[in-house]
């Protein structure tokens, strides 16, 4: 048996093998597996056997090559770079620092690249963190390209970011003298707020938790419960979810799943005398209130934790809804809801006061919202005292834009062309009075055009009608399409929209636990861990992004087909239609 293929290239084989180890996170000893070597030998008798050490060395060479390529990418992007940084721990309790760059490339695609995943020995204080980060920025050659750093709320981060800001300010490397340099992780803040409010769980949550535990306690109980589900004609495929104390989102999902089976639980209470935890009708209503309340935080956290789309422009609308909900529930007649909202409101307002205005600027750069949305939000929150907040945002918006304004003047019409145009105009009017009357109009129009020409690109953008708020807008495509109209404003939008409002993906956001490196990587040397983590990110980030976009496109197409089918069903139920066009 033979396989038709080009001439075997040992170097190419080793490169592909190394890439597979990185992509699939395989152990280096994979190349020494007897079964794998047998497969290779069957495909080609000339395949050289390599050791785990050789595979590791090949991986390090690939890492160094990709690192040089990454340096070129960072130095050639048109805008600035935003950073996130967080700490990880191995199973051996070794500390690692992960530094990630976020930027919008020349094709207006949001990119996220892990720059370093480096060993971080104690102490993990502010000075040590600053020294490490600044050394890394210098190594990458991007210390003059940083726009914003997003970090969680550790006190050591506050110290390190202040030192980093001072260092970069001395180099005159920051926009607006570093005023918008530091951003606190918004998802982390929401997590702290909700955890504070859920310290005292209401009795109804306890009852639902115990009810689910009871049902899942034995096969017999499960069978009885699903009989109740059938009796109540409910969908049994949704299933029940048990919550986990350290993940508040699981409490929300538990309440959401239990709500669908309310009548089944009530039926089980009638048929199973040992089932003692079923909530009363009033308690189910309270559970629904708690679920709706937590849904606001759940939705906001998912939005903040996105990595495939800009999140900076989505912050202000989401936080406004959260703040407004907290204020509303703090006046609730329900004592538990009021107490929970009050606890959360105290924590929330502590961080709201310190929130970065650059995130208000970001929503202004969303053509669906602009400045009127900021004005409306502050009026809803503060009433007559809102004007100062609004004017502050407007002032900072124009100050930031001033950093991007160039001194390039617009081309003017030559005097020769202007003279020729005047001569042609005079010949059109035989009556001298008519000519001077129309000249007065020209003068009036020139004044109007002069006022228009004096407007900045930012003012022209703000004067344009807003895009429909319900439109499914690709904000990066919008600004890409305006590169020639508003080049200075587009440069500002590119930097602002690259700001990540969260340091973590959604699956990590809801947990109060730290980030832990898996068992395989914990057994490796720190430099090898960094090479593996970074290489995988650099080599396959674009592939994963393309796969994500394909999945989104497929979902859109499926939704479109479903809507089309529903429309066809609706029209068919109305009876046959008469077509004006004959069908051949």
Query: Based on the domain organization, do 84 and 152 belong to the same domain?
Result: yes
In a domain, 3, yes or no: no
pTM of the model: 0.80
Query: Based on the domain organization, do 310 and 387 belong to the same domain?
Result: yes
In a domain, 438, yes or no: no
The pLDDT of residue 335 is 87
In a domain, 414, yes or no: no
In a domain, 23, yes or no: yes
Give φ, ψ of 579 to 5 degrees. -100, 140
Look-up of token digits 């760059």 = 101
Who contacts 506 (Cβ-Cβ below 8 Å, separation ≥6)? 187, 301, 302, 305, 306
The pLDDT of residue 188 is 87
User: Would you write out the chain's pLDDT as a tens digit for each of its 584 residues?
Assistant: 444 556 888 899 999 999 999 999 899 999 999 999 999 999 888 888 999 999 999 999 999 999 999 999 999 999 999 999 988 877 666 788 899 999 999 999 999 999 999 888 888 888 999 999 999 999 999 999 999 999 988 788 889 999 999 999 999 999 999 999 999 989 888 888 988 888 777 788 889 999 999 999 999 999 999 999 999 999 888 888 988 766 788 889 999 999 999 999 999 999 999 999 999 999 999 999 999 999 999 999 999 988 889 999 999 999 999 999 999 999 988 888 999 999 999 989 888 877 789 999 999 999 999 999 999 999 988 888 788 899 999 999 999 999 999 633 333 333 343 344 444 444 455 555 565 566 666 665 555 555 556 899 999 999 999 999 999 999 999 999 999 999 999 999 999 999 999 987 544 444 444 455 566 666 788 899 899 999 999 999 777 655 555 445 444 444 444 444 444 444 343 333 323 333 33
Domain count, the chain: 4
Who contacts 314 (Cβ-Cβ below 8 Å, separation ≥6)? 303, 304, 363, 501
Query: Based on the domain organization, do 329 and 393 belong to the same domain?
Result: yes
Query: Based on the domain organization, do 27 and 112 belong to the same domain?
Result: no
Cβ pair 358, 313 in contact under 8 A: no
Determine the Cα–Cα distance for residues 279 and 298; give it in Å rounded to an integer: 24
The pLDDT of residue 428 is 52
In a domain, 204, yes or no: yes
Who contacts 577 (Cβ-Cβ below 8 Å, separation ≥6)? 571
In a domain, 558, yes or no: no
Hey, what are 528's tokens?
């090898």
The pLDDT of residue 115 is 95
* Of 262, 232, 272, 372, residue with least CA distance to 316: 372
Query: Based on the domain organization, do 282 and 363 belong to the same domain?
Result: no
The pLDDT of residue 513 is 47
Determine the Cα–Cα distance for residues 242 and 249; give it in Å rounded to an integer: 11
- Tell me the longest C-alpha to C-alpha distance in the chain: 106
Query: Based on the domain organization, do 172 and 105 belong to the same domain?
Result: yes
**Which whole-number Å values give the CA distances from 277 to 227, 229, 284, in the listed order?**
18, 17, 12
- Output Rg (C-alpha) for the chain, integer angstroms: 31
Query: Based on the domain organization, do 396 and 282 belong to the same domain?
Result: no
The pLDDT of residue 546 is 56
3-state DSSP: the chain helix, strand, coil percent, rounded to 5?
A: 60, 5, 30
Query: Based on the domain organization, do 386 and 310 belong to the same domain?
Result: yes
The pLDDT of residue 134 is 95
In a domain, 463, yes or no: yes
Query: Based on the domain organization, do 94 and 165 belong to the same domain?
Result: yes
Query: Based on the domain organization, do 521 and 458 belong to the same domain?
Result: no
* 336 DSSP assignment: H
Q: Which domain holds residue 24?
A: 10-62
User: Concatenated DSSP letters for 20-86?
Assistant: HHHHTT--GGGGG-HHHHHHHHHH-TTPPP--HHHHHHHHHHHHHHHHHHHHHHHHH-SS-EEEEEE
Q: What is the dihedral of CA 73, 74, 76, 81, to 10 degrees?
A: 140
Query: Based on the domain organization, do 490 and 522 belong to the same domain?
Result: no
In a domain, 581, yes or no: no
Determine the Cα–Cα distance for residues 501 and 315; give it in Å rounded to an integer: 7
Last residue of a domain, one of 295, 320, 335: 295
Query: Based on the domain organization, do 357 and 495 belong to the same domain?
Result: yes
């Amino acid at each position: 048996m033979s396989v038709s293929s080009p001439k075997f290239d040992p170097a190419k084989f080793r490169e592909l093998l190394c890439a597979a180890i990185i992509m699939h996170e395989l152990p280096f000893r994979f190349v020494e597996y007897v079964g794998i070597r047998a497969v290779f030998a069957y495909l080609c008798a000339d395949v050289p056997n390599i050791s785990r050490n050789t595979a590791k060395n090949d991986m390090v060479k690939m890492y160094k090559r990709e690192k040089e390529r990454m340096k070129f990418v960072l130095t050639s992007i048109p805008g600035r770079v935003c950073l996130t940084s967080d700490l990880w721990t191995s199973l051996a309790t070794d500390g690692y620092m992960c530094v990630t760059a976020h930027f919008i490339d020349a094709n207006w695609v949001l990119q996220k690249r892990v720059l370093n995943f480096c060993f971080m020995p104690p102490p993990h204080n502010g000075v040590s963190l600053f020294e490490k980060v600044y050394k890394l920025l210098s190594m990458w050659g991007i210390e003059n390209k940083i726009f914003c750093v997003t970090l969680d709320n550790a006190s050591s981060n506050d110290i390190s970011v202040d030192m980093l800001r001072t260092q970069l300010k001395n180099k005159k490397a920051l926009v607006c003298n570093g005023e918008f340099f530091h951003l606190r992780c918004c998802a982390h803040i929401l997590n702290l707020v909700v955890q504070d409010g859920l310290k005292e769980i209401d009795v109804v949550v306890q009852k639902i938790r115990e009810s689910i535990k009871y049902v899942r306690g034995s096969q017999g109980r499960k069978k009885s419960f699903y009989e109740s589900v059938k009796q109540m004609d409910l969908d049994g495929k949704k299933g029940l979810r048990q919550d986990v104390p350290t993940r508040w989102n699981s409490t929300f999902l538990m309440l959401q799943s239990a709500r669908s089976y309310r009548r089944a639980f009530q039926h089980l209470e009638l048929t199973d005398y040992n089932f003692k935890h079923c909530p009363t009708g009033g308690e189910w209503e309270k559970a629904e209130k708690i679920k709706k309340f937590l849904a606001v935080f759940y939705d906001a956290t998912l939005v903040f934790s996105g990595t495939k789309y800009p999140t900076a422009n989505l912050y202000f609308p989401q936080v406004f809804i959260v703040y407004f909900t907290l204020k509303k529930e703090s006046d609730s007649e329900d004592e538990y809801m009021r107490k929970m909202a009050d606890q959360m409101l105290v924590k929330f307002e502590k961080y709201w006061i310190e929130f970065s205005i650059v995130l208000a600027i970001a929503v202004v750069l969303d053509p669906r919202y602009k400045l009127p949305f900021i004005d409306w939000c502050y009026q809803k929150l503060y009433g007559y005292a809102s004007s100062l907040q609004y004017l502050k945002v407007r002032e900072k918006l124009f100050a930031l834009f001033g950093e991007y304004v160039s001194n390039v003047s617009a081309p003017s019409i030559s005097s020769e062309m202007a003279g020729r145009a005047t001569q042609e105009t005079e010949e059109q009017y035989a009556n001298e009075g008519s000519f001077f009357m129309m000249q007065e109009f020209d003068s009036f129009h020139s004044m109007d055009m002069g006022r228009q020409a004096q407007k900045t690109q930012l003012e022209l953008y703000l004067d344009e009608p807003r895009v429909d708020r319900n439109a499914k807008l690709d904000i990066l495509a919008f600004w890409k399409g305006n590169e020639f109209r508003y080049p200075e404003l587009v440069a500002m939008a590119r930097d602002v929209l690259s700001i990540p409002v969260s340091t973590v993906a959604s699956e990590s956001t809801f947990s109060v636990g730290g980030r832990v490196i898996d068992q395989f990587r914990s057994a490796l040397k720190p430099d090898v861990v960094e090479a593996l983590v970074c290489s995988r990110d650099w080599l396959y980030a674009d592939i994963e992004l393309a796969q994500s976009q394909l999945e989104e496109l497929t979902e859109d197409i499926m939704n479109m087909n479903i809507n089309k089918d529903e429309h066809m069903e609706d029209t068919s139920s109305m009876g046959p239609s008469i077509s004006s066009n004959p069908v051949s």
